[in-house]
Amino acid sequence: MYFCGRKLMRMKIGTIDLGERPVFFAPMEDVSDPSFRRLCKEFGADMMYTEFISSDGLIRDAEKSVRKLDIADYERPVGIQIYGKNPEAMVEAALRCEEAQPDLIDLNFGCPVKRVAGKGAGAGLLQNIPLMLEITARVVKAVKIPVTVKTRLGWDENNLPIVSLAEQLQDVGIAALTVHGRTRKQMYKGEADWTLIGAIKENSRMTIPIIGNGDVSSPEIALQKFTNYSVDAIMIGRAAIGKPWLFKEVKHFLQNGELLPPITIPEKVELAKRHLSYSLERKGDITGVFEMRQHFSNYFKGLPNFKETRIRLVTETNPNTIHSILDEIAAQWGDY
């Protein structure tokens, strides 16, 4: 098989074989939990990650942090992502993660939210590159499984070190690098700029896989990112919320060059029910229902005259009533 004049290569992170043009599911707080990862895997996501885990919380045995170490064999390959700014804590947390037997450990140097970046962790480390490199080097040395990094272009438009930073991270031993095409200042606003991601791939010194992230929301866009920027993989994040079938659509288009028929409303309803079941099983009725709300809004996004039903769906707390509302949706919009 050839792609844009060059032979397609199977992507590997260490010894993890991810095939040709793999599609990753991004680590996202309160999104990439086990329930939703299960669905995304069923629809073909090639690489999974946990929600990010605080290194400080993990070494203190904080319940929320420890619970995020829970991974299942059907998710593999799966990575555990950690964040923090203290090298000793990050090393200790990485060793704890390794005991959970993930396929790799990912270091989060890209989270832009104030409670993380504002305290010098996540994307905050883009303002302290020496510390970022020290943390990375020490974690790589401490564990026996591959270590990868996810970061952004830079802190702001006047600070875009990613091309040289990619080299430095490779030199201290990471096995792959994911780059989100925005700065920390942008947060999630504006359009992701993949130009510098492409520049990393053009750098002849780079030998590790580069995964591009940002605004991959359709099969056509996925192909365009592979074509224009020569990335080894793409990562889908917010576009997958309430739309796990996006992975199947993207992979089918990449492999066959054709779009799948749109998923029907009754199919979405059955999928939402299954997702709710997974969430209740893992987290109980209260948390399980609460964390489904953002997904429910997106499952049925675009339906006409849906506002009143959507409000009921995302405010109801009784799982049985939610099932009844979902049945109403299938009955009312089944032919849409």
What values do phi and psi take at 145, rounded to 5? -100, 165
- The CATH number of 265-333 is which of 1.20.950, 1.10.1200, 1.10.30, 2.50.20? 1.10.1200
The stretch 262-280 carries a mean pLDDT of: 95
Please give the distance of CA 302 from its chain centroid, rounded to a whole number.
24
97 catalytic residue (yes or no) = no
Q: Where in the chain is the domain with CATH 1.10.1200?
A: 265-333
Q: What is the mean pLDDT of the chain?
A: 94
CB count in 10 Å sphere of residue 231: 24
**Separation between Cα atoms, residue 319 and residue 305, nearest integer Å:** 23
**Separation between Cα atoms, residue 197 and residue 216, nearest integer Å:** 14
Q: Strand 10-13 vs strand 16-20: parallel, antiparallel, or unpaired?
A: antiparallel
User: Model confidence over 202-232: pLDDT tens digits?
Assistant: 999 999 999 999 999 999 999 999 999 999 9
User: Model confidence over 123-148: pLDDT tens digits?
Assistant: 999 999 999 999 999 999 999 999 99
Which one of the listed residues 4, 40, 97, 111 is annotated catalytic? 111
Q: Where in the chain is the domain with CATH 3.20.20.70?
A: 2-256
- Can you tell me whether residue 155 is helix, strand or coil? coil
- 260 contact partners, CB below 8 Å, separation of at least 6: 248, 249, 252, 253
pTM of the predicted structure, to 2 decimals: 0.93
- The CATH number of 2-256 is which of 3.40.50.300, 3.20.20.70, 1.20.1250.20, 3.40.190.10? 3.20.20.70
